[in-house]
Amino acid sequence: MSGGAIKSGVYPNYLAEIGIGDGEARKRVEEAFETIFFDPAENFCHRTEEDAWCMVDTGNNDARTEGMSYGMMMCVQMDRKDIFDRLWTFADRYMRLREGPNAGYFAWSVQLDGTHNAEGPAPDGEEYFAMALFMAAGRWGDGEGLFNYTQQAREILRHAVHQHEMIAGGEPMWEPKNKYIRFVPGMKISDPSYHLPHFYELFAERADERDRDFWRETAAASRAYIIKSADPGTGLSPEYADYDGKTVLLFGKPWVYYSDAYRVAENIALDHIWFGAHPEENDINTRLQDFFGEQDLEDLRAYELDGTPQTEPAMHPTAILAVLGAASVCSRSQQREKFLRLFAETPLRKGVRRYYDNCLYFFCLLMLTGSYRIY
């Protein structure tokens, strides 16, 4: 760890570089949060029960561990324990799996009434659940039972690392040998956007003591994997990749730089803010801004890793513009200020596909305003 907010306690408002001061920056964050959770037309937070709310993937009309854990992290950052506890209650009541080889994990997709669409997990949900819970403990302190946040986070990570030892037929979420997070527990491939070394550094301080060396090694392995899987020319990353970092195509989709992959730039930026410069990671965001600086930003598409446009339009163009803004945190591109300004001029997305775009947008807004903090 070379520095960053973990040592300095400083979280810069990067938007100040383009004339947006701290007051205006905070107003933008508060307005975006209000839209996501409460706007009558554009929110995507569903009140299933008085004490159990869920985040809705508006494009698929379901609740996913991705969105649930994202919503919890948003609430920690915004000091909204009331909403956090309702989301966590829904996750425990309707998503936590209590029997079979996946016991202790969370069903990655359920209907808005809690009925399961799947009986298996997606590891990006578990890692965000754990981090949000540790942050909740740091900001608000631990309660009892379900609201003993530290205990709950440690239990999630215990399963994620040791499921094959704890449950008959269980599979861990991290590959024991190379420390890479798996796309799903039963598949020996990864997803570059699942790799969150900045989370793993904190897990190494807060998880079960016996696993702390594992998490330190995982942080280093993930930084290396992020670099290995990104194209050395364009900085583009694949949605899914094998352990050598080579593209894997899934679900009958030939698209390579597509929805999941956008998060890599965002993750690199937050790693930089929290834990300081990692030059080879930062180079990815520089190359990414250089590449998109030459593209038609009104016609964003799926791309081959070498930058060749594919026929498929980008499903989440606002998300691409958001992460390109966040990339300015650590980019050395001549396009850096351009993408900061473009982010500041880009509104939250409206309509059916707003969920994923606006989740990424909000996290990038937190980063760029100095509001995405370690608790």
> Is the separation of the CB atoms in 82 and 145 below 8 Å?
no
Q: One of 239, 260, 266, 283 is an active-site residue; which one?
A: 260
Taking the C-alpha atoms of 308, 240, 193 and 29 in order, what is their torsion angle to the nearest 10 degrees? 70
Nearest-5° Cα angle at 181, 177 to 182:
95
Q: One of 66, 85, 127, 239 is an active-site residue; which one?
A: 66
Q: Which of 224, 173, 172, 174 has its CA nearest to residue 197?
A: 224
> Is the separation of the CB atoms in 247 and 241 below 8 Å?
yes
CA distance 266 to 261: 10
Q: Is the dihedral of CA 124, 359, 333, 331 positive or negative?
A: negative
Distance of CA 168 to the CA centre of its chain: 30
Q: Which class for 54: exposed (0-12), middle (13-18), buried (19 or more C-beta within 10 A)?
A: buried
Strands (E), 19-117: 45-49, 52-55, 63-64, 109-110
**Is 175 noted as a catalytic residue in this protein?**
no
CA distance 237 to 47: 36
**Is 201 noted as a catalytic residue in this protein?**
no
Dihedral pair phi/psi, residue 207, rounded to 5°: -75, 180
> Is the separation of the CB atoms in 20 and 30 below 8 Å?
no
CA distance 62 to 41: 17
Residues comprising the chain, all counted: 375
What CA–CA distances, in Å, run from 337 to 195, 224, 262, 343, 371? Answer: 27, 28, 19, 10, 20
> Is the separation of the CB atoms in 172 and 161 below 8 Å?
yes
Helix (H) / strand (E) containing 309: strand 309-313
Q: Which active-site residues does the annotation give?
A: 66, 260
